[in-house]
Structure 1
Amino acid sequence: MESHRRHLLFLFLLSLAFPSTSTIPRSSENDYSFDTSPPPSPPPRPPVQPNTSLEYMDPTLPPLLPAQNPQCSLQILQRDFAAIAASSSPPAFFTYTPPANCPSPWSRVILELSATASDIQKDRIAAIWIAGAEILRTSTPFSLSPGVFWRVRKDITRYTALLRRPTRFSIMLENNPNATLTGIYSVNVSLHFYRGAVNRLNSHPIIRGLYREPADLIIPISNMTGPGCWFRVTNETDVRTRTVLIPNNTYRAVLEVYVSNHGDDQYWYANPLRSNDVGVAGASGLASRKPNGGFRQVVATIDGQYVGSAVPFPVISPGSVNPFFWAPVAAIGAYDHPSYDLELTPFVGKLIDGKPHEFGLTVKESQPYWLVDANLHLWLDAWSDAVEGALVRYKVPPLHLGRQADWKNADGKSEMEGQVIIRFSGWVSSSAGNVTTSVRHKFKFKSHVEVEEKGEMKSVDMETKARTNLRIEKDHVVIGRVVVETEAPLNLVTVTSNGGGGTRIRKTKFFHEMMEARSATEGKTEDWFNTITDRQESEGSVLVGEDGEVVWGSGDTKSIYKFRDDKKCYLRTVNMVGGKLEEDEESSSCAAAALSGAMES
């Protein structure tokens, strides 16, 4: 029995470990001057050849490099999506049976979604669920010509508990073709299974979150009856819930939250703060129905009690800001929206009382509408039918947001700023012994929005920083630590002028970055570390018609993606000018990655 206990404790510590990387410093360049000369006349649209095609890409680190081949692959969906509205139509369902020629356990499972758009079409939100648990949220490209195709590859090893038995997949892809937007999406979804050792030098970290080893059980906190398994949240009082029963032998819990913004909150990050909406957006095109400021926070509760939150990363949809920025290079996270892990282990003692508990989700300060759901990842004690536990510390001070606004008609500025430190601590007694988990989460938020020149110029400067510290103790000795740090700066400047005939010319400069650093220690020895930096700089113009639709435009985008851990580096630089790839370079040289960071500092 003692060996079993040591084995379980080892697995518990292993579940906390994950790789981490070093960040690329932000560029010091702050030149937001514009060429004010009239734009050239749009060139005539070239005839499209029957075999012409263009790949839209997401320049991030692939989950596995081509040096490794899967043990087996399984196609689970091949379908055309012609007219499906996310607000009313049900998702497409398809059955899944584990592959007989390579049964579990698997060292890796990779989801691959490949799709084409037959013709011009807007960007659409989509998601894939397994038995109601979301495994991918994605956006389709804003296809500017026929023949566009793209591919999303995601490591879904963390969901292997859902893949070991026959189940049901579902996919929701909103599409509303009309006389102008005639594109039909043809979608293929496949799974690639790997067995045996995976060469870490050729692979992405298995889990990008608070743990490495997949959970034993995953319970969806989602809408099991509506169109799509996501909940639709319209404001912060709109709390969506699901009641579930937790196994009595649960010794660890993590809630993974998916969220995306739509409708009136499409440009939440650029939302000014003022008492009325007269002249708020000017002619910038970044409009909002209610100017309540640029802060949003997805919040999770258990039986009405706050248990965790995250400020969502502002994913830019492919049709937003300037669609020509994202053709053919996607905005950060657009094809694979980030999810957010909330450590719930301190609350396990409350959850294993044999009673059902209500999990709630909402978005603070939100406007209609957000799509939200979550997955509850649970680790079970195989050597015990029941464990014990209790919450011993719960410190959740209120979040005080400083709000300042100064407006005169259409012009003015507003600022929002706040920070909070949240602490939880709880113990769980299982066959691994009595283990105490302490969580300290701190985040800082700043938002500055300024409108000038009678509403014709708008600038946005936003930054979110977060740090989560996880400490594991046994017999009053710290046996493990995990630290996750994130930073997400965004800068946007838009200048609008008269384009004639009721049209408007909108010129935009845009900077966006996602930086993540993770580290884990066992005892006093560092076990894993990794950092990921994903940054983009864009500049371009669009001509907007009286109806608000883009008539024509152009855009340049430079993307730099860097990953680094204790054994490998990966650097990819993609430079897109006027819709054409001028540069696409990959390197596994840590020297090149270090040089890239030095050049940008």
Structure 2
Amino acid sequence: MLPGAFIRHSAAAVLLASLAGGFVTQAVADPVVGSTNVATADPTVPRPPGQPCVVTLFTDVTFDDFNTRPYSYTPPTACKGAWAKVVLEADFSVTAGRQYDRTATLWLGGVNLYFGTTQEPSAAVSPAWHVERDLTDYSALLRNAGQGQAIIGNVVNSTYTGVIHGTARLLFYPASVGARAAAVPDAVYPLGSDAVGSTVSLNTSADKLARTLTLPTNVERAYLDVFTQSQSSDEFWYTCVPDAYASQTNECGGGNFREAEISIDGTPAGVAPVYPWVYTGGIDPYMWRPTPGVQTLNFLPYRVDLTPFAGQLSDGNPHEVAVQVAGANSYFSATAALLVYRDAHAKQVTGKITRNTLVGQAPTPTIGSTLATASNGDVSGAVTTKLDRRFVIEGYANTSHGRITSTVTQNTGFDDKQTFTINSSTYRQQTWQRTWSESTSQSRLGNFLTAERHEHFNYPFSLDYNQQVASDGSSTAASTVHQGYRQRDELRLLGLTVYGADVDNTVDTQDTLAFDASGNLTGHSGQQSAQAFAFHDTLGSCYRASLTTQSGAVTGYVAGKGCPDGVNRVSWFAHPDGSPDSSLLPGR
């Protein structure tokens, strides 16, 4: 007799293959050449066939202070059955004038529905932008009525005049013959203590975002979606240096290594790399008009596989699940949600962790320096920061299918080099950074390997900041930034690759600011940027888009070039933005 897992996974392979033809044409609103409004090459969330039920969360709400904006949620009455997909859509705008970029979050029952920042306006431009997030994996949360809130803290006075407005809704797509019901988690648990929802500030490496939970006694798989956003003194963490070199380089201290550390009952359980997001007021605001940096307006969570701990989490005892940020230096804003799959045919799952080599591997990078100070005070040289770790976490769970052994193997690394040239006329800092993570999640029934998922993430980032001071005391500051987000996913069932997907998103931008001898901004020049976004998968999906800007306006936009027939077509169940994908989880 074939094992039950063999049958399940073979059926999954057939199902994935049968969906290969379910393409939709991406309905991206093309940026208009000459426009100064927000323009990105990002894809929207692809939709299944059929009409969705729409639930409005709020409409044209004004954000002009630091109070929350509460709303009530009720599930759609016309779509009570299984859902193929759930999508959040939100539209924001800010009036012309002076205003900072602001952090924006949406919540329901303590769970984060959206996390991003806002676009800064100018005196003449009132930007508007649209964001989407695939919330299908949060369907269990959305089955019940609840309270939510929108949080966009904003100061409006005689100096800061930009008023932010927002509208948000949820779209529910019923399952049908052409769109299967999603195999979603059975429960979603927020880690934060706010019953409606809010982030937690992590000022130091010791601070925790944590919650103690007593979970059902039949947990079969578990995953943690993590957001860690840099704030305040940590906003430009990627330019900081170790304290020993801060004074010499005139830079922020605390070092530039940041990483989210996940623990269960105080034991290391996983890591999540931190993305170097740059907000639209960051470094040089003109660089991000009209195209913001990678994910600036719409962050992606990083999903950590906690399935090896399923047996431990099912023992009926309370367990603390926590997130910390190694290197946090006032501060990171964090939130996380625990996604749990239950064994429908077992009241009690038992098991334990059998191997955890992450224990004892402290996130302590190696620091190097060639900095030298000449007799006249000139400084030159570089500071390097490196960390490369490999760990294996393995555990078993006795389920209704038999004993399932889950293994997570991960390589995670950080490599940073900052070169300084400092003298009487020059302050130049060149930052080159790369964060990466390679992980494999395996599921075994006895000794039989049933499923494995491979993930590769790569976050390249570089910044060249070159300040030149003239003899009259005036100065210029030229900045060039390269950001990248690269992701590769692959699912294998019974040793065969049944699905693979690649995401590649890059933004390159530059601008030069001019200041008078008193430090007042007198103008800027040379603004130009380019974004390129590419997605493809092994079932025939293809999305490509690129755009260019100059002097704050769109100068070119191309969509579909490099895809078959020059048209973007993406399977409705795909995740072209790189967001976590439940269809790629081992054990389905």
Task: State the partner residue of 1:312.
Answer: 274
Q: Distance in 2 between matches of 1:219 and 1:186?
A: 29
1:94 pairs with 2:83: no
| Map of 1:59 onto structure 2 | 41
Task: Note if 1:127 corresponds to 2:105.
Answer: yes
1:562 to 534, 542, 547: 534
Q: Distance in 1 between matches of 2:393 and 2:368?
A: 32
Distance (whole Å) between structure 2 residues aligned to residue 565 and residue 77 of structure 1: 35
Partner deviation per Cα, 1:489-526 (whole Å, 9 max, x = no partner):
11211111237997642101211111100000110221
Residue 206 of structure 2 aligns with which residue? 237
- The answer as to 2:244 corresponding to 1:275 is yes
Say whether residues 1:142 and 2:120 are aligned partners. Answer: yes
C-alpha contact (below 8 Å) 1:53/1:148 kept by paired residues: no
Contact 1:558 1:575 (C-alpha < 8 Å) held by counterparts:
yes
Report the CA distance shift for 1:3/1:380 in structure 2 as closer, same or farther (over 3 A). Answer: farther
Aligned-CA RMSD value? 3.2
Aligned 8 A contact 1:257 1:373 in 2: yes
SS in 1 for 2:312: helix
AA in 2 matched with 1:587: G
Counterpart for residue 529 of structure 1: 500
Could you tell me which residue of structure 2 aligns to residue 84 of structure 1?
65
Contact conserved, 1:421 with 1:440, CA < 8 A, in 2? yes
| Amino acid of the structure 2 residue aligned with 1:542 | L
- Between the aligned residues of both structures, percent identity stands at 19
Q: Which residue of structure 2 lines up, in the alignment, with residue 182 of structure 1?
A: 161
User: Mapping of 1:251-290 within 5 angstroms?
Assistant: 251-281=220-250, 287-288=251-252, 290=253
Q: Would the aligned equivalents of 2:261 and 2:271 in 1 still touch at CA under 8 Å?
A: yes
The two structures have a TM-score, normalised by structure 1, of 0.83
TM-score (norm 2): 0.85
User: Paired residue for 1:440?
Assistant: 409
Secondary structure of the corresponding residue to residue 405 of structure 2 = strand
Q: Given the alignment, which residue of 161, 182, 193 partners 1:223?
A: 193
Q: Does the C-alpha gap of structure 1 residues 151 and 198 become closer, same or farther in structure 2, counting only changes over 3 Å?
A: farther
> How many positions carry a matched residue from both structures?
539
Residues of 2 paired with 1:441 and 1:83: CA distance? 44
Q: Which of 93, 105, 113 lines up with 2:82 in the alignment?
A: 105
How far is 1:473 from its partner?
A: 0.7
Q: Distance in 2 between matches of 1:97 and 1:571?
A: 37
Matched, 1:402 2:395: no
Q: CA deviation at 1:415?
A: 0.3
Query: Quick one: distance in 1 between partners of 2:518 and 2:75?
Result: 50
1:72 maps to what in 2? 53
**Larger mean Cα displacement after TM superposition, 382-391 or 369-378:** 382-391
Pair 1:116 & 2:85 matched: no
1:345 equivalent in alignment to 2:316:
no
CA deviation profile, 1:118-149 (whole Å, cap 9, x unmatched)? 22221100111121011211100011234321
Residues 552-583 of structure 1: CA deviation (Å, up to 9, x unaligned):
43421100000000112110011111111111
In the alignment, which of 335, 348, 364 is matched to residue 297 of structure 2?
Answer: 335
Is 2:466 aligned against 1:495?
yes
Give the CA deviation at 1:309. 1.0
Q: Please give the secondary structure, in 2, of the residue aligned with 1:141.
A: coil
User: What is the rounded CA distance, in whole Å, between the counterparts of 1:581 and 1:329 in structure 2?
Assistant: 8
Sort the Cα spacing of 1:13 and 1:196 in 2 relative to 1 into closer, same or farther, 3 A: closer
Alignment of 1:478-517 (within 5 A): 478-498=449-469, 504-517=475-488
Distance 2:432 2:43 in 1: 28
Deviation at 1:245, TM superposition (A): 1.0
CA pair 501-156 structure 1, distance change in 2 beyond 3 A = farther
Q: Check 1:521–1:10 CA distance in 2 against 1; reply closer, same or farther (3 A cut).
A: closer
Greater shift after overlay, 529-538 or 126-135?
126-135
Question: Do the aligned residues in 1 keep the contact of 2:63 with 2:152 (CA within 8 Å)?
Answer: no
Task: Please say if residues 571 and 592 of structure 1, whose CA atoms lie closer than 8 Å, have aligned partners that are also in contact.
Answer: no
- Quote the Cα distance in structure 1 between the aligned partners of 2:135 and 2:494: 29
Q: Relative to structure 1, is the Cα distance of residues 303 and 453 closer, same or farther in structure 2, using a 3 angstrom cutoff?
A: same
In the TM superposition, residue 13 of structure 1 has moved relative to its aligned partner by 7.1
Distance 1:214 1:546 in 2: 60
Between the aligned partners of 1:8 and 1:502, the Cα distance in structure 2 is: 75
Q: Which moved more, 1:512-521 or 1:3-12?
A: 3-12
- The whole-number CA distance in structure 1 between the counterparts of 2:522 and 2:129 is 24
What are the superposed Cα offsets for residues 394-428 of structure 1, whole Å, 9 maximum, x if unpaired?
Answer: 11233452111233254432001120001111111
Give the aligned partner of residue 29 of structure 2.
none
SS in 2 for 1:277: helix
Q: Deviations over 1:374-412 (max 9, x none)?
A: 100000112222111111111123345211123325443
Rounded to whole Å, the distance in 1 between the matches of 2:157 and 2:248 is 32
Alpha carbons 2:37, 2:125 under 8 Å: kept: no
1:584 CA displacement? 1.2
- Which of 476, 489, 495 aligns to 1:518? It is 489
CA contact (8 A) 1:58 1:335 kept: no
The answer on whether the counterparts of 2:191 and 2:209 sit within 8 Å (CA) in structure 1 is no
Cα 1:127–1:577 change in 2 (3 A) is same
Task: Report the Cα offset of residue 62 of structure 1.
Answer: 1.1
Partner amino acid, structure 1, of 2:224: L
